[in-house]
Amino acid sequence: MLTIANGDVSLNATLAQRLGQKDVRAFERFYDRYSRIVYRLLLRIVQPAGTVEEVARDGFLQLWAQGR
């Protein structure tokens, strides 16, 4: 189970708002914060495993393009 501290919720809300404004630094911070988690999760569910990096990259790019 994933638990999120109140400070994390506040930071996530701030990052989400800044992503909506196309803030590159917010995207970098979001990526640094979550890329390893996303990658490990995808390793469990994506087959073949060789496509995990591509799926993760596409997801982050879609997030940036949609601004959410």
Q: Could you report the per-residue pLDDT of 12-58, keeping only the tens digit for each? A: 889 989 999 999 999 999 999 999 999 999 999 998 888 999 999 99
CA distance 60 to 38: 10
CA distance 33 to 22: 17
CA distance 58 to 51: 11
Q: For the chain, what's the residue count?
A: 68
Q: Quick one: pLDDT band at residue 2, thresholds 50, 70, 90?
A: very low
Query: Does the pLDDT at position 7 exceed 70?
Result: no
pLDDT of residue 34: 94
Does residue 48 have a cis bond before it (omega within 30 degrees)? yes
Query: Does the pLDDT at position 67 exceed 90?
Result: no
